[in-house]
Structure 1
Amino acid sequence: MQASSSQPPLRRTKNLSQELADLLEAQIRNGTLAPGAKLPSEAQIIKAHGVSRTVVREALSNLQASGKVTTRQGIGTFVCQPSTTLSTFLDGVAVETLDDVISVIEVRVSLESEAAALAAQRRTPAQLGQLRRLLDQMQEQTAREVSLADLDMEFHLVISQATGNRYLTSIMSSLGQELVPRIRLNNAFSNSPLSQLYLKRRDAEHEDIYNAIARQDAIGAAAAMRLHLTNSRERLIKVINAYG
């Protein structure tokens, strides 16, 4: 498939590599890029979307980590054939009650603690930079007394991508927004002093996870993630009891 020069440049409203990955993944889903098709070259993608080579490589790395594409050395990058994976079965998971959310967090404790440990060992400088940018954006929002759950979710997804294990990434992507308990809290909580306390502690815990990953401390990263998710569970129970 040839890249079209008529395609508009990507909007610079979020992480460019993730936006480009989302765009390519949408083309895979709608059949524009069919299974087995070769993706445009790096140069073609750069010209079509007005992004840097680093952005293109990060985007393709994200797609490869999630099993959407595969790269053949010296030949190019190709769309993977669809297959039945663990994510196929997770797509139907329904998280509706407080008990469901707490159960999902309990799953996350084991899953993401190991993911953080692997990310500390395998992360790239580019992935570490993505985590830093996301943390800075979350902290800026906390200072302005606002919060967007998608940044929280993306932080955890980048950690799963940094493991280099596409199954971990697939599980995280399939469970989607249900992995972020903050979005289940009602408007009363969102406008309460407890919300700011929650967000500040979340930011501090994310910093601890980031710092351990940055220094490639697998044991420290796993412990920081476990503490963060355990605290998230306890905070959620406290908030629901107070405002639910």
Structure 2
Amino acid sequence: MSTTLPDHPMRTKSQPQRVVDGVSERIHSGALKPGDRVPSEPGLMQEFGVSRTVVREAMSRLQASGLVETRQGVGTFVLASAAPEPLLAIGSRNVQVRQKLAMLELRISLESEAASLAAVRRREEHLVAMRAALDAFDAQRRAGGSTTEPDFQFHVQIAAATGNEYFEEVLCSLGNATIPRPAPDAAPDAPAGDSKPGARFGEAQPMLESGKAITQREHEAIFDAIRRGDAAAARAAMFMHLSNSRERMRASNDSGNHSQ
């Protein structure tokens, strides 16, 4: 019997990232303007219910992104000219195929190691969530629907099973660029990402059912190795899957170029 996919990922956003997102949103919305002082450490601690260490980590991330600067003994202020948006924060619609392929190369290294760690550290609830994502992928595949979201969730749950929040944060950032996902107001049956056809991470061209079946088998091999606690096999299975995904994306793009 298939397990239903959880409504929310098992792991929540990290505490520093919650503070980063909250302050960033105010800057981008204009609630905090260039030159304005960011709320004090005690103020942010109370607002987000976090420690001073968490607030300082969040401020370090905001400084690294070029949104704010800290003046010793004075406070933290919004910069007059924010730095360009970091590559990992670029949405899928703004990333060239060349960049997506480069990001997939990074994912090969990152997620192969994540799968290895997940095989050693995973708990039963992680296996349940991975199994649910696989069942949802298979159900969507058989129904001819989009498998993009369950594909993404399967990879997120592996990252969560490492117990290292940074694997999950980096994967989610890369995933936003390499896995087109539906906009919140998109029609339920609308294609994920751009309306123009393109390669989806982990999938062949949408019309090729056989490509999704291959992806399902690759996912099952990864899951089986993690379930058995076989770190070497999990690493190898993830390496093969992501390498194949990269080639599927490249082949899909080449096919689209030749048909134009």
Query: Could you tell me which of 9, 13, 32 is aligned with 1:18?
Result: 9
2:135 corresponding residue in structure 1: 136
Q: Aligned pair count?
A: 194
Q: 1:227 to 1:20 in 2, by over 3 A?
A: closer
Deviations 1:135-194 (A, max 9, x none): 000000000111142221111111111001122112112223224379678438799775
Within 5 A, what are the aligned runs for 1:68-217? Answer: 80-81=54-55, 82-85=58-61, 91-93=88-90, 96-180=95-179, 186-187=196-197, 194-217=207-230
Q: Distance in 1 between matches of 2:22 and 2:153?
A: 23
Query: Which amino acid is 2:101 matched to?
Result: I
Query: Which amino acid is 1:217 matched to?
Result: D
Query: Which amino acid is 1:204 matched to?
Result: R
Q: Is the 8 A contact 1:101 1:178 kept in 2?
A: yes
Structure (1 or 2) with the greater helix fraction: 1
Q: Distance in 1 between matches of 2:60 and 2:230?
A: 34
Q: Distance in 2 between matches of 1:101 and 1:210?
A: 25
Q: TM-score, normalised by structure 1?
A: 0.65
Query: Which amino acid is 2:9 matched to?
Result: Q
Q: Is the 8 A contact 1:189 1:243 kept in 2?
A: no
What is the CA-CA distance between 1:92 and the residue it aligns to?
4.0
Query: Which amino acid is 2:106 matched to?
Result: V
Query: Could you tell me which of 219, 222, 231 is aligned with 1:218?
Result: 231
Q: TM-score, normalised by structure 2?
A: 0.61
Q: Is the 8 A contact 1:161 1:169 kept in 2?
A: yes
Query: Which amino acid is 2:197 matched to?
Result: N
Deviations 1:7-40 (A, max 9, x none): xxxxxx9514538947x99986558xx8545999
Larger Rg: 2
List alignment gaps of at least 5 residues for structure 1. Answer: 1-12, 41-68, 71-77
Query: Which amino acid is 2:150 matched to?
Result: L
Deviates more, 1:116-125 or 1:143-152: 143-152
Q: Is the 8 A contact 1:117 1:222 kept in 2?
A: yes
Q: Is the 8 A contact 1:121 1:216 kept in 2?
A: yes
